[in-house]
């Protein structure tokens, strides 16, 4: 079969794009799900998400998705009609902080909250700490112009969310549990894309990126056990669908990882 000439191929898509209004273009690029009450999952390319959480007086955003996501995220914030109060970050991989700079410019009043360890990575410092021997900076860590405005420690609560240090997938990885609901925004500590809930570092042919990007499998397993002990009412991974009442799936995922990591 003969391939279409390049120019011809481009003109087909350019023609289709021109015929759509601008806001429809943004929608095309971002699917918006409502997996649990007051939470919107904003999905690009089928598997890259961030989550918007609606509270009484505003919105909190968990991670910022790939670069180029700010217009779609801002459109959803405008549709919900509440101010963006906080941007919580789980870790410094590009598909989580890719739109941080663009969002910080659009929403200068929003607090940006993460761990000191992730803030150091965002500043461009790629050195490892002595207690990180055996870990490696795998996957694409991104340097940002934006500096977090608030740093939290493991167990600390801020704006209704408790920080849960969950290193393993990435150095400095932190999950966030909403105190009022028990929902856990677990970043890449657990993944549900590519075939069932699994611990980051367990291989899935359908979505292998977290496997290749994981810094330490033993620590990822330890972190999954720590999350299970919190008895989350829902797990909201960045890659894949949210899991309600996740205890059985989480127990299976932990067993599988314990066998796989030997
Ligand atoms: Zn990651």
Q: What pLDDT does 29 receive?
A: 82
- Is pLDDT at 95 greater than 80 in this prediction? yes
169 Cα–ligand 1 center, Å: 6
Q: How far is the CA of 5 from the centre of ligand 1 (A)?
A: 37
Dist. CA 86 → ligand 1 center (Å): 20
Residue 56's pLDDT is: 83
User: Beta strand 198-199 with 190-191: parallel, antiparallel or unpaired?
Assistant: antiparallel
Q: Provide CB contacts within 8 A for 260, sequence distance 6+.
A: 201, 202, 203, 217
Dist. CA 51 → ligand 1 center (Å): 15
The pLDDT tens digits of the residues spanning 101-140 come to: 999 999 999 999 999 999 999 999 999 999 888 888 988 9
Q: Is it the case that residue 48 has pLDDT exceeding 60?
A: yes
Model pLDDT for residues 67-81, shown as the tens digit of each residue: 999 999 999 999 999
Q: Which pLDDT does position 76 carry in this prediction?
A: 95
Output the pLDDT for position 14. 35
* 28: confidence class by pLDDT, cuts 50, 70, 90: low
pLDDT reported for residue 133: 80
Q: How far is the CA of 219 from the centre of ligand 1 (A)?
A: 14
Reported as a pLDDT band with limits 50, 70 and 90, residue 262 is confident
22-261 carries CATH number 3.60.15.10:
yes
Average pLDDT of the residues in 215-221 = 93
- Token pair, residue 224, equals 């999954």
Does pLDDT of 201 surpass 70? yes
Please spell the DSSP secondary structure of the chain, one letter per residue: -PPPPHHHHHHHHHHHHHTS-HHHHHHHH-EEEEEETTEEEEEETTTEEEEEEE-SS-EEEE---STT-HHHHHHHHHHHTS-EEEEE-S--BHHHHTTHHHHHHH-TTSEEEE-HHHHHHHTT--PPPGGGTT----S-B---S---SEE--TT-EETTEEEEE--SSSTT-EEEEETTT-EEEEETSEE-TTSS-EETTS--TTS-HHHHH-S-HHHHHHHHHHHHHT--SEEEESSS--EES-HHHHHHHHHHHHHHH-
Q: By mean pLDDT, which of 6-15, 82-91, 243-252 is the weakest?
A: 6-15
191 CA → ligand 1 middle, Å: 10
Q: Please give the distance, rounded to the nearest whole angstrom, from the Cα atom of residue 236 to the centre of ligand 1.
A: 14
**Lowest model confidence (mean pLDDT) among 22-26, 89-93, 181-185, 231-235:** 22-26
pLDDT reading at 24 higher than 70: no
Distance from Cα 74 to the centre of ligand 1, integer Å: 23
Closest CA to 94 of 65, 61, 52, 135: 65
* Distance in Å, CA 214 to ligand 1 centroid: 7
Say if residue 192's pLDDT is above 90. yes
pLDDT above 90: percentage of residues in the chain: 79
Task: Say how many Å lie between the CA of residue 170 and the centre of ligand 1.
Answer: 6
> Tell me, what's the pLDDT at 230?
97
Q: What is the 257 CA–ligand 1 centroid distance (Å)? A: 17
Task: Indicate the pLDDT class of residue 211, thresholds 50, 70 and 90.
Answer: confident
The mean pLDDT of 198-217, rounded to a whole number, is: 89
What's the CA-to-centroid distance between 159 and ligand 1, angstroms? 24
**Cα–ligand 1 centroid distance for 200 (angstroms):** 9
């Amino acid at each position: 079969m003969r391939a279409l000439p390049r120019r011809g191929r481009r003109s087909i898509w350019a023609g289709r794009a021109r015929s759509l209004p601008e806001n429809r273009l943004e929608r095309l690029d971002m699917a918006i799900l409502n997996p649990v009450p007051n939470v919107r999952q904003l999905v690009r390319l089928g598997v890259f998400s961030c989550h918007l959480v609606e509270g009484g007086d505003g919105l909190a955003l968990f991670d910022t998705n790939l670069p180029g996501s700010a217009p779609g995220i801002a459109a959803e914030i405008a549709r919900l009609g509440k101010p963006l109060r906080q941007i919580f970050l789980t870790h410094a991989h590009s598909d989580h902080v890719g739109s941080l700079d663009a969002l910080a410019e659009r929403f200068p009043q929003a607090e940006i909250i993460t761990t000191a360890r992730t803030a150091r990575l965002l500043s461009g410092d790629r050195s490892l700490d002595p207690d990180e021997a055996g870990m490696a900076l795998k996957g694409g860590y991104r340097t940002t112009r934006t500096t977090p405005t608030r740093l939290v420690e493991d167990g600390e609560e801020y704006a209704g969310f408790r920080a849960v240090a969950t290193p393993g997938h990435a150095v400095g990885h932190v999950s966030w549990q909403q105190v009022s609901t028990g929902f856990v925004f677990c970043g890449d500590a657990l993944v549900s894309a590519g075939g069932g809930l699994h611990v980051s570092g367990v291989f899935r042919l359908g979505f292998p990126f977290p496997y290749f990007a994981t810094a330490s499998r033993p620590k990822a397993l330890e972190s999954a056990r720590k999350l299970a002990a919190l008895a989350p009412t829902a797990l909201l991974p960045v890659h894949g669908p949210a899991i309600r009442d996740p205890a059985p799936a989480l127990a299976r995922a932990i067993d599988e990882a314990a066998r796989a990591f030997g």
